[in-house]
């Protein structure tokens, strides 16, 4: 094996450019896979930290004595135990296990019977922390649950591994292609195919000694940068309640993850080098020396590239077709990079848009909905709560709705009459309804909300734009009220009296069919204040307000805390029913973090694609230096050579751009079509207006992805052209006769004797 190792080292030193490209390719590939594995380890550790912080135990048993707690602590499976004193000299024991306990219910039952607290177990005064047990691999299903999380990660890792494997394989394929003649000479003087494969494999493993340590170090740096960028992009805000986010969510490096990444990188290189060696020895020594296959394939005389660009285009097109593998791999890596750059950001923005619109749809374009508790007999009023909300300075566009139970005379079907203010009225019927809010308030009339589900129940009863409606008037003897009476007692003690009133209908409008829009009749809040004593009584008022934060669109933890603190201070009067602000805030931060992570990943994949493109272009020019010199001998100018190189780059980029655009079109238009179809089929019983509004929630940008494809393609094209021009300029430093005599670039004196030394080493070994 000595001469194989010698030749492998000589090849690495003699072809510095190809070796450098190969090392860089391995470093980038190992760095990315290291980053993926390290971030997975960080996720698991921090998930465990968060789970432990919220519930620092595997098992919590309440209501036992200290002696029983000590008996639990003495169990060989228990690592530590924390006691919290309760009433009646009882304690709550927080138990942490040090190893798997098997059947946890059976273990606990046996322990309870042995130590006399089986009654506690029968009364279910214990609690398992399933998440922490799963992360610590304790329990029957813990390993399966943990494996499920790993499998989700592994699917992503497999995708990344496939893309990175192509980069390394391409680097070795290009490097070995330059030396096919030398391998043919070695075989012709007696070297066996196994020795040739061993030479290439040793070369790859020697490159690993340099590339993998650098790749691991770069991967840790990339993971650290990506982790903190993602935290700062939004995830840290979600954990704003923690004392110290950086302490609670530390960046840690698991040695096992580094070992896995190193082994994966080593296996990649070995498979690539071994696979390339097996492909090299398939050729006979004569085929390798002449660098031409026995069967010459017929090429087209006229191509599209030739018709557009002339002779330079025809030659460039033939070069691409005779090196199909390089062409396919380069186009594939460019396509993956361009597609990810164009698509992922668009999809994340679309997801955020849909979620935000869905929340606004349910909340009538508000951030919160809150019940204003109002019991006049208890001394509370919704007007006072509404005034405090308005004076807090935290909200704008405050919509109020007071709903009352009513029913058509001689009918048992109950519906609602909703009294609203101007802000809520405009949300229902738009900024310019046929009947203005001012007219509604001045006349004291009502709008017939034709989008209400109870519309048909009252439409037939309308006579001359009015309807007789019975209202429920609750009354109570104030002398019977005591301080200890609660709302239910008051409700039961009240007497119900039905009163008929005439409701004037001044218009019919179709409002938004979302949550909290139940009223068949809609009146102004001023109308309610005028008729409430006569129509409904002041027993209690069902009032709901819809609130938008003053910082709408800028959702953050500080403002959210101020709002929640305000509600907590008025908890007796105001109760949050729907918290859309928090959902929007979390959604925005999660999407921002995802976009940051995807952006970093796109940059790395783009770097791999550019390295691969530059490697293929530079090596392709070096391999064809004799052909270029021959073309120059028959009259081709330097300008025409550069033009041909530009056309070759254009072929790579054009193919990748077309495929990327096709993938983006299929995914964007296809995803939107599928989602719209599913919504249409899922909401067949809804009205056309409701389905139309639901359709508006699904909106994917069809322009931005193609703009990004164009920008990424131009950047890749510029990099390819620069590489081609640099290589052509380096080649022109030699005379045409030197270029025609050999395909290798100019080397130093020691490297020029590489083939002779290789032959001597082979003969000596034989």
Please write the tens of the pLDDT for every residue from 23-58: 877 888 788 888 888 888 888 888 787 777 778 888
CA distance 602 to 594: 12
Average pLDDT over residues 496-511: 81
Q: Is the pLDDT at 748 greater than 50, yes or no?
A: no
CB 265 within 8 A of CB 212: yes
Average pLDDT over residues 282-286: 76
Q: Is the pLDDT at 150 greater than 80, yes or no?
A: no
Average pLDDT over residues 108-129: 85
Q: Is the pLDDT at 413 greater than 70, yes or no?
A: no
Q: Name the residue with tokens 């992805």.
A: 705
Q: Is the pLDDT at 194 greater than 50, yes or no?
A: yes
Q: Which of 52-66, 76-90, 275-289, 563-577 has the lowest mean pLDDT?
A: 275-289
Helix (H, G, I), strand (E, B) or coil at 472: strand
Q: Which residue has the higher pLDDT, 486 or 444?
A: 444
246 confidence band (pLDDT: 50, 70, 90): very low
Within 8 A by CB and 6+ apart from 117, the residues are 61, 63, 64, 65, 68
Buried b (16+ CB within 10 A) or exposed e, 348-370: bebebbbbbbbbbbbbbbbbbbb
- The pLDDT tens digits for 294-337 are 444 454 555 656 556 666 666 666 666 666 766 777 787 788 77
Q: Which of 444-448, 491-495, 617-621 has the lowest mean pLDDT?
A: 491-495
**Percentage, residues of the chain above pLDDT 90:** 3
Tokens of 525: 């809040």
- The pLDDT tens digits for 463-478 are 667 877 878 777 776 6
Q: Looking at residue 488, what is its pLDDT?
A: 67
CA distance 82 to 96: 9
Q: Which residue has the higher pLDDT, 676 or 448?
A: 448
- For the stretch 80-87, contacts whose Cβ atoms lie closer than 8 Å and that sit 24 or more positions apart, written own/partner, are 82/56, 82/57, 86/62
Highest mean pLDDT out of 5-14, 447-456, 646-655:
646-655
- For the stretch 105-108, contacts whose Cβ atoms lie closer than 8 Å and that sit 24 or more positions apart, written own/partner, are 107/77, 108/59
766 confidence band (pLDDT: 50, 70, 90): very low
Strand partners, 547: 368
Q: Is the pLDDT at 440 greater than 60, yes or no?
A: yes
Within 8 A by CB and 6+ apart from 707, the residues are none
Torsion-angle region of 609 (φ positive above 0: left; ψ -120 to 50: alpha; else: beta): alpha
Q: Which residue has the higher pLDDT, 169 or 96?
A: 96
244 confidence band (pLDDT: 50, 70, 90): very low
CA distance 707 to 93: 61
Q: Looking at residue 439, what is its pLDDT?
A: 92
Q: Is the pLDDT at 16 greater than 70, yes or no?
A: yes
Q: Is the pLDDT at 135 greater than 60, yes or no?
A: yes
Q: Is the pLDDT at 411 greater than 80, yes or no?
A: no
Q: Looking at residue 258, what is its pLDDT?
A: 87
Tokens of 82: 């924390």
Q: Looking at residue 373, what is its pLDDT?
A: 76
Average pLDDT over residues 550-558: 71
Helix, strand, coil share (%) of the chain residues, nearest 5: 65, 15, 25
Provide the residue count of the chain: 766
CA dihedral 515, 521, 526, 529 (to 10 degrees): -90
Q: Is the pLDDT at 603 greater than 70, yes or no?
A: yes
Q: Is the pLDDT at 117 greater than 60, yes or no?
A: yes
CB 661 within 8 A of CB 312: no
CB 374 within 8 A of CB 385: yes
CA distance 288 to 577: 77
Q: Is the pLDDT at 679 greater than 50, yes or no?
A: yes
CA distance 551 to 394: 8
Highest mean pLDDT out of 112-121, 370-379, 514-523:
112-121
| Angle, helix 16-54 to helix 142-177, in steps of 10 degrees | 170
Q: Looking at residue 124, what is its pLDDT?
A: 83
Average pLDDT over residues 56-77: 87
The angle formed by the CA atoms of residues 723, 31 and 710, to the nearest 5 degrees, is 45
DSSP sequence for 63-74: EE-HHHHHHHHT
Tokens of 478: 């104030």
CB 683 within 8 A of CB 691: yes
Average pLDDT over residues 1-17: 71
574 confidence band (pLDDT: 50, 70, 90): confident
> How does strand 542-549 pair with strand 395-408?
antiparallel
Q: Is the pLDDT at 108 greater than 80, yes or no?
A: yes
- The pLDDT tens digits for 604-619 are 777 777 777 777 777 6
- The pLDDT tens digits for 337-356 are 788 777 776 777 777 777 76
Q: Which of 361-375, 471-485, 568-582, 740-754 has the lowest mean pLDDT?
A: 740-754
Tokens of 8: 């492998």
Q: Looking at residue 220, what is its pLDDT?
A: 92
* Nearest CA-CA partner of 68 in 16, 111, 129, 4: 111
- The pLDDT tens digits for 153-191 are 666 666 666 666 666 676 676 666 667 777 777 778 777
CB 181 within 8 A of CB 288: yes
CA dihedral 667, 668, 669, 675 (to 10 degrees): 90
Q: Which residue has the higher pLDDT, 81 or 309?
A: 81
**Rounded mean pLDDT of the chain?**
75
Q: Is the pLDDT at 204 greater than 50, yes or no?
A: yes
Q: Looking at residue 238, what is its pLDDT?
A: 63
Q: Which residue has the higher pLDDT, 755 or 291?
A: 291
Torsion-angle region of 245 (φ positive above 0: left; ψ -120 to 50: alpha; else: beta): alpha
217 confidence band (pLDDT: 50, 70, 90): very high
Q: Which residue has the higher pLDDT, 317 or 653?
A: 653
Torsion-angle region of 303 (φ positive above 0: left; ψ -120 to 50: alpha; else: beta): beta
Under DSSP, the state recorded for 520 is S
Q: Which residue has the higher pLDDT, 663 or 671?
A: 663
CA distance 100 to 146: 14
Q: Which of 170-184, 376-390, 498-512 has the lowest mean pLDDT?
A: 170-184
């Amino acid at each position: 094996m000595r001469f194989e190792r010698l030749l492998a080292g000589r090849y690495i030193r003699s072809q510095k450019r190809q070796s450098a490209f190969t090392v860089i390719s391995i470093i980038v590939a190992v760095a990315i896979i290291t980053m993926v594995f390290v971030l997975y380890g960080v996720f698991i550790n921090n998930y465990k930290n968060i789970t432990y912080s919220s519930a620092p135990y595997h098992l919590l048993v309440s209501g036992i004595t200290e002696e029983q707690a000590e008996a639990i602590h003495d169990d060989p499976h228990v690592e530590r135990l924390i006691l919290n004193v309760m009433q009646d000299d009882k304690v709550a024991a927080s138990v942490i296990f040090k190893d798997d306990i098997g059947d946890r219910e059976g273990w606990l039952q046996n322990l309870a019977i042995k130590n006399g607290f089986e009654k506690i177990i029968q009364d279910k005064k214990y609690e398992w922390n399933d998440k922490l047990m799963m992360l610590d691999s304790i329990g029957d299903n813990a390993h399966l649950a943990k494996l499920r999380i790993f499998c989700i990660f592994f699917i992503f890792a497999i995708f990344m591994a496939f893309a990175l494997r192509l980069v390394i394989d391409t680097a070795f394929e290009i490097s070995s292609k330059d030396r096919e003649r030398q391998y043919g000479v070695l075989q012709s003087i007696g070297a066996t195919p196994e020795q040739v494969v061993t030479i290439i494999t040793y070369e790859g493993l020697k490159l690993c000694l340099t590339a993998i340590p650098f790749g691991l170090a770069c991967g840790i740096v990339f993971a650290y940068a990506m982790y903190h960028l993602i935290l700062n992009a939004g995830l840290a805000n979600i954990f704003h309640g923690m004392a110290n986010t950086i302490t609670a969510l530390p960046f840690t490096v698991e040695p096992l993850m580094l070992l896995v990444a190193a082994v994966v990188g080593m296996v990649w290189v070995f498979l690539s080098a071994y696979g390339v060696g097996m492909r090299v020895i398939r050729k006979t020594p004569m085929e390798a020396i002449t660098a031409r296959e026995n069967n010459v394939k017929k090429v087209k005389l006229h191509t599209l590239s030739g018709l557009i660009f002339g002779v330079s285009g025809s030659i460039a097109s033939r070069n691409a077709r005779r090196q199909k593998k390089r062409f396919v791999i380069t186009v594939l890596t460019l396509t993956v990079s361009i597609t990810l750059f164009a698509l992922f950001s668009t999809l994340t923005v679309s997801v955020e848009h849909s979620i935000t619109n869905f929340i606004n749809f349910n909340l009538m374009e508000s951030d919160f909905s809150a019940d204003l508790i109002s019991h006049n007999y208890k001394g509370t009023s919704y007007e006072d709560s509404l005034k405090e909300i308005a004076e807090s300075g935290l909200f704008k566009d405050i919509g109020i709705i007071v709903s009352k139970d009513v029913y058509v005379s001689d009918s048992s079907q109950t519906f609602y009459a909703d009294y609203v203010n101007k802000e809520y009225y405009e949300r229902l019927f738009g900024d310019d309804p046929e009947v203005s809010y001012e007219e509604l308030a001045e006349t004291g009339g009502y709008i017939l909300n034709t989008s209400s589900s109870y519309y048909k129940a009252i439409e037939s009863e309308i006579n001359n734009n009015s309807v007789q409606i019975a209202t429920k008037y609750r009354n109570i003897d104030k002398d019977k009220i005591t301080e200890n009476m609660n709302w239910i007692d008051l409700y039961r003690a009240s007497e119900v009296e039905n009163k008929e009133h005439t409701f004037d209908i001044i218009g019919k409008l179709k409002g938004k069919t979302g949550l909290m829009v139940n009223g068949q009749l809609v009146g102004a809040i001023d109308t309610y204040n005028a008729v409430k004593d006569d129509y409904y009584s002041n027993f209690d008022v069902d009032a709901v307000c819809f609130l938008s934060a003053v910082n709408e669109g800028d959702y953050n933890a500080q403002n959210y805390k101020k709002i929640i603190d305000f509600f907590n201070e008025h908890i007796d009067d105001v109760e949050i029913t729907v918290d859309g602000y928090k959902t929007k805030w979390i959604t925005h931060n999660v999407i921002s973090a995802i976009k940051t992570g995807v952006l970093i990943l796109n940059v790395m994949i783009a770097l791999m694609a550019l390295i691969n493109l530059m490697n293929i272009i530079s090596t392709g020019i070096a391999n064809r230096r004799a052909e270029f010199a021959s073309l120059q001998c028959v009259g081709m100018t330097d300008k025409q050579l550069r033009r041909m190189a530009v056309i070759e780059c254009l072929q790579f980029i054009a193919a990748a751009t077309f495929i990327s655009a096709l993938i983006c079109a299929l995914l964007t238009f296809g995803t939107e079509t599928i989602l719209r179809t599913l919504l249409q089929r899922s909401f067949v019983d809804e009205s056309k207006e409701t389905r139309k509004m639901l359709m508006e929630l699904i909106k994917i940008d069809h322009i931005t992805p193609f703009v990004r494809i164009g920008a990424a393609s131009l950047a890749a094209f510029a990099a390819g052209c620069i590489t081609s021009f640099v290589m052509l300029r380096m080649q022109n430093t030699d005379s045409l006769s030197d270029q025609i005599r050999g395909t290798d670039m100019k080397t130093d004196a020691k490297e020029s004797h590489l083939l002779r030394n290789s032959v001597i080493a082979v003969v000596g070994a034989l």
